[in-house]
């Protein structure tokens, strides 16, 4: 990589580097090294290109396709019932966009478009359209989006300037050219139309930095820059409604948007991104050391998400790695990398060491409440120093 995906400034040397394999957001390993670069001009952090990106999204990347149960649980309500990610996204979208009656809305990179479907259930006056770079999702669209309002692979020319609003949830982090992507959305909106984007906030969830198919790791600074460069007037960046993510709303501008460079903000974003890269460097060293230290010992990994999968890849050659532990009842009873996922309370007495695979910003608090992990003789390994 030689130039920044957002501002096209020359990039310096790699900020984080790890040997193959790399882990994708779908918890699959691909045989490429992990390379992260940080732009000193706009503060944007970015990963190197994926090989054959079109095929990856057409046939490999199948989020939430198997069943509705794969709709990730976002939180657990006070009464113990799960709150699903798409319910939460739909509610945020309706609140932030405040759509006019009968608005024409497009879900761009829709997947199954569950979020849009839920918005339309709440607002039957909305006119839904869907687009994705795969035909895998067509069966999920049929029945509530008319055929002429569905598009795959390419967007019909007739859709230019059509939409009052576009939603695009957790898509922009995957695209190689985010400014070109935003210009495409700009051209699809009617004058005054608005876009709602969501994307990971790497500062709140450092694991995002090494996800192989997340080519972009936005900061507030680099997101502002990308939106202005593509002709959008920023209205809101919300970093609290959805923990670990940004939700941004911006309006199509008919005149070029002045790029207000905030040196302090960009410099701070670059420094934060480099700090996260340094964290991963020490985490990798620490884990490799622990794998050798506990070589042959019976081990469990707490957390069957991204961090746990990453730990599995680093330790399985050395330790006797038997089970994943996860608090999420929807995941208990499943398997990951040929190991069962169990409730933490069901940890076997003979396990010697537990590797904690959670967001390091939240791990200590999460483990403090797990009585089964505090028995004498059980070692805990943390990825943060
Ligand atoms: Zn840049």
Instruction: Give me ligand 1 centre to Cα 197, in Å.
Output: 19
Instruction: Give me ligand 1 centre to Cα 46, in Å.
Output: 9
Check residue 375 and report its DSSP letter.
S
Contact assessment for residue 11 and residue 1, using Cβ atoms and an 8 Å cutoff: yes
Structure tokens at 97: 């966009």
Instruction: Give me ligand 1 centre to Cα 220, in Å.
Output: 12
What pLDDT is recorded for position 20?
84
Instruction: Give me ligand 1 centre to Cα 298, in Å.
Output: 45
The protein residues having their C-beta less than 5 angstroms from ligand 1 (an ion) are: 4, 6-7, 9, 39, 41-42, 44
Instruction: Give me ligand 1 centre to Cα 41, in Å.
Output: 5
Instruction: Give me ligand 1 centre to Cα 35, in Å.
Output: 16
Instruction: Give me ligand 1 centre to Cα 184, in Å.
Output: 20
Instruction: Give me ligand 1 centre to Cα 39, in Å.
Output: 5
What pLDDT is recorded for position 57?
66
Instruction: Give me ligand 1 centre to Cα 222, in Å.
Output: 7
Instruction: Give me ligand 1 centre to Cα 177, in Å.
Output: 12
What CA–CA distance (Å, rounded) separates 385 from 283?
7
Instruction: Give me ligand 1 centre to Cα 214, in Å.
Output: 16
Instruction: Give me ligand 1 centre to Cα 384, in Å.
Output: 28
CB-CB neighbours of 84 under 10 Å:
18
Instruction: Give me ligand 1 centre to Cα 225, in Å.
Output: 8
Long-range own/partner contacts, residues 230-239 (CB < 8 A, 24 or more apart)? 230/179, 230/180, 230/182, 230/183, 230/185, 230/186, 231/182, 231/183, 231/186, 231/256, 231/257, 232/182, 232/186, 232/195, 232/257, 233/257, 235/194, 236/96, 238/92, 238/96, 239/201, 239/204
Instruction: Give me ligand 1 centre to Cα 208, in Å.
Output: 18
Average pLDDT of adjacent 10-residue blocks, the chain of 385 residues: 95 92 84 94 94 69 48 68 86 95 97 96 98 94 97 97 97 96 98 97 93 95 97 96 93 92 93 97 94 97 91 93 90 90 93 95 90 93 89
Instruction: Give me ligand 1 centre to Cα 42, in Å.
Output: 4
Instruction: Give me ligand 1 centre to Cα 256, in Å.
Output: 19
What pLDDT is recorded for position 225?
96
Which H/E stretch holds residue 75? strand 73-76
What pLDDT is recorded for position 68?
45
Domains and CATH numbers, the chain: 68-256 (3.40.50.150), 295-381 (3.40.50.720)
Instruction: Give me ligand 1 centre to Cα 18, in Å.
Output: 22
Instruction: Give me ligand 1 centre to Cα 74, in Å.
Output: 31
What pLDDT is recorded for position 30?
85
Check residue 44 and report its DSSP letter.
-
Instruction: Give me ligand 1 centre to Cα 40, in Å.
Output: 7
Instruction: Give me ligand 1 centre to Cα 207, in Å.
Output: 21
Instruction: Give me ligand 1 centre to Cα 271, in Å.
Output: 13
Instruction: Give me ligand 1 centre to Cα 6, in Å.
Output: 5
Instruction: Give me ligand 1 centre to Cα 143, in Å.
Output: 43
């Amino acid at each position: 990589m030689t130039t920044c995906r957002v501002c096209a400034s020359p990039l310096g040397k790699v900020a984080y580097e790890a040997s193959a394999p790399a882990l994708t957001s779908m918890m699959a390993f691909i045989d490429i090294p992990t390379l992260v670069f940080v732009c000193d001009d706009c503060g944007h952090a970015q990963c190197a290109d994926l090989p054959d990106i079109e095929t990856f999204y057409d046939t490999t990347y199948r989020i939430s396709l198997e069943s509705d149960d794969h709709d990730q649980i976002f939180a657990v309500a006070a009464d113990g019932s799960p709150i699903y990610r798409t319910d939460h996204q739909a509610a945020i979208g309706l609140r932030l966009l405040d759509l006019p009656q009968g608005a024409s809305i497009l879900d761009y990179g829709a997947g199954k478009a569950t979020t849009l479907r839920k918005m339309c259930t709440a607002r039957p006056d909305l006119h839904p359209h869907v687009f994705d770079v795969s035909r895998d999702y067509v069966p999920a669209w049929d029945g509530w989006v008319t055929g002429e309002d569905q598009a795959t692979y390419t967007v019909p020319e007739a859709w230019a300037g059509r939409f009052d609003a576009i939603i695009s949830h957790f898509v922009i982090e995957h695209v190689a050219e985010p400014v070109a992507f935003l210009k495409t959305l700009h051209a699809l909106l009617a004058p005054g139309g608005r876009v709602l984007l969501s994307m990971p906030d790497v500062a709140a969830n450092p694991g995002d930095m090494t996800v192989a198919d997340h080519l972009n790791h936005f900061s507030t600074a680099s997101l502002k820059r990308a939106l202005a460069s593509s002709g959008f007037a920023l209205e809101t960046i919300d970093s609290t409604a959805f923990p670990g993510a940004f939700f941004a709303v911006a309006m199509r501008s008919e005149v070029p948007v002045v790029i207000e460079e905030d040196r302090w903000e960009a410099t701070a974003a670059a420094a934060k991104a480099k700090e996260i890269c340094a964290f991963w460097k020490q985490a990798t060293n620490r884990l490799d050391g622990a794998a050798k230290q506990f070589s042959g010992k019976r081990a469990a990994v707490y957390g069957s998400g991204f961090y746990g999968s990453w730990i599995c890849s680093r330790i399985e050659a050395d330790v006797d790695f038997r089970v994943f532990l996860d608090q999420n009842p929807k995941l208990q009873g499943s398997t990951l990398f040929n190991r069962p996922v169990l409730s933490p309370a069901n940890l076997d007495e003979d396990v010697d060491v537990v590797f904690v695979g959670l967001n390091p910003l939240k791990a200590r608090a999460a483990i403090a409440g797990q009585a089964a992990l505090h028995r004498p003789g059980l070692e805990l390994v943390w990825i943060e120093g």
